A and B are shown apart, each in its own frame.
Chain A
Amino acid sequence: MIAWHIHRHLEKPDEVRLVMNKISVNHEGRAFNEDALRSYVAQSKWIDPNQLKDSF
């Protein structure tokens, strides 16, 4: 339930959803933002392709 409601809140921040007060007490949310995505791409260059060859 929490993923759907957080998603809805992000898509429609003005929409009032009363159950949020019940289902998101002490909610810890993390945004994987633009900087984090760029950092991921930069770090991925350090991965040895051989490490990935046996993965699915």
Chain B
Amino acid sequence: MILSAHADDSGSDEKSNPPPRFFVLGGYILPVEEWKSFSDAWADELRREPAIDYFHMADAEYGDGPFEGVREEFRKLKVNELADVIHRFKPKPVTSHLEWSQYASIVRGNVDPKIDSPYALLFYQIIRAAHEWQRDMNRISPEIGFHRVDFIFDNQGRVGLRAAQWHDELRPNLSEPHKTMLGSPPVFRMTKRSWPFKQRT
């Protein structure tokens, strides 16, 4: 069995107005085969009225993007029904976060520019959380075993390339069971319409 994790971020733009206090990276883990069913259920829900092309939580909250002109109660209804899809499939939610002010005062400018990236820190925390989750499960039921986890993140441009490169360098230095659990190099999707949280068809 191969597990797959789909993750995105919130609060990554510290220059937005108002500036975010926190930066969060988070996503869900499911077996690869289950993501297919999840994706179908998600697309079915997108097709229901008020139908939208794709879902982005900030758009739903503020009435932007595909939610432009949609009344608040209908936006809330859509969020609730998409949340039902998540609840039905019960993917494992993993998140990591940091406080921007702490990052700025402690890390920024105090490490090599190539590793001066809050995204990279959170990126590895998410991978670590996925590994520790499996270790916890194996302590309770060793027959579960350890499984590879492939990560798919929102596009992060250069910092994503950097994170992928570090991922490659990490593997030879890992011991088991982490080596087994470390998946393929992370994929950075170019669009928020990416599978499995895809657009309706």
Interface residues of A (CB under 8 A from B): 1-8, 10-11, 18-19, 22-34, 37-38, 40-41, 44, 47, 49, 52, 55-56
Residue ranges of B at the interface with A (Cβ–Cβ < 8 Å): 7-11, 20-28, 55, 57-58, 61, 79-80, 82-84, 86-87, 90, 92-99, 102-103, 106-107, 110-112, 114-115, 121-122, 125-126, 128-129, 132-133, 158, 161-162, 165-166
| Bound: A25/B191 CA distance, A | 27
Count how many pairs of residues, one from A and one from B, have CB atoms less than 8 Å apart in the complex: 137
The smallest C-beta distance from A53 to any residue of chain B, in angstroms, reads 9
Enumerate chain A residues within 8 angstroms of B93, measured Cβ to Cβ: 2, 23-28
* B96 close to A30 (CB less than 8 A): yes
Residue numbers in A under 8 Å from B20 (CB-CB): 7, 11
Least CB distance, B95 to chain A, in whole angstroms: 5
CB-nearest residue of chain A to B122: A32
Asked whether, in the complex, the Cβ of A30 is within 8 Å of the Cβ of B10, the reply is: no
Taking chain A's interface residues, is the majority helix, strand, or loop, or is none over half, making it mixed?
A: helix
Q: Min CB distance, A30 to chain B, in Å?
A: 4
CA A10 to CA B24, docked complex, whole Å:
9
Q: Which residues of A contact B111 (CB under 8 A)?
A: 40-41, 44
- Contact across chains for A19 and B80 when beta carbons are under 8 A apart: yes
A4–B27 Cα distance when bound, in Å, is 10
